Amino acid sequence: MLHYPLTTLWILTMMSPSKTYKTGLVRCDGHLPENEQVPIPAYGTAYSSCFDLSASIKGRDLKSFIGNRYQVETDEQGRAVALTIFEGGLVLIPTGFIFDMPKDFGIDVLPRSGLALKHGLVLRNCTGVIDNDFPKETLIMLENRGNTGAHTINHGDRIAQARLVPVYVAEFSLQEEWTPRDSSRSDGFGHTG
């Protein structure tokens, strides 16, 4: 288990014309000088749906990276400074933050379209979900599915995007039979055209 000096920060993580939701952040890279810490997640524009998450690589113990087909560049003390993911490689990359979300919200983590298009870097699980009660640092499960060769991720590079989402809890009950909807659907998996 990794231990980091923790610093609590507060930022606005969801913006709409009528609502803003405060979400707490606990910084996991507080051991670094302030000018070397990863940037606080931020929205790229006033109307962006998602905020960016960055790679928190600098000074990390090599054991914090789990995966295959990657190489960590280190400084003279053996601490990570960059990470290269080879074709077919998979690695969990720390973001430097634990999220403390408002009640009844979660966070969806999504791939960055530019990284996917240009370098084939996508999330292995397609969409990551951070539950409201998840108590640890957020890690990004990044996979190189591209055919453009290896790609190097530097400390502070934006590697994913995320959005704050409301959580609706279903209450399930067993029924004797399914009540068909008023629909022309006859089947699934391509049966609508």
pLDDT at 11: 46
Q: How confident is the model at residue 64 (pLDDT cuts 50, 70, 90)?
A: low
What pTM was computed for the model?
0.82
> Which of the two residues, 49 and 189, has the higher pLDDT score?
49
Q: What is the largest CA-CA distance in the chain?
A: 68
| Band (104; pLDDT cuts 50, 70, 90) | very high
Across the chain, mean pLDDT equals 86
User: pLDDT per residue over 12-32, tens digit each?
Assistant: 444 444 577 888 899 998 888
If you average pLDDT over residues 117-135, what whole number do you get? 96
Phi-psi region of 177 (alpha: psi -120 to 50; beta: other; left: phi over 0): beta
Superfamily of domain 7-166: Deoxyuridine triphosphatase (dUTPase) (2.70.40.10)
Q: Where are the domains of the chain?
A: 7-166
Q: Residue holding tokens 């931020």?
A: 42
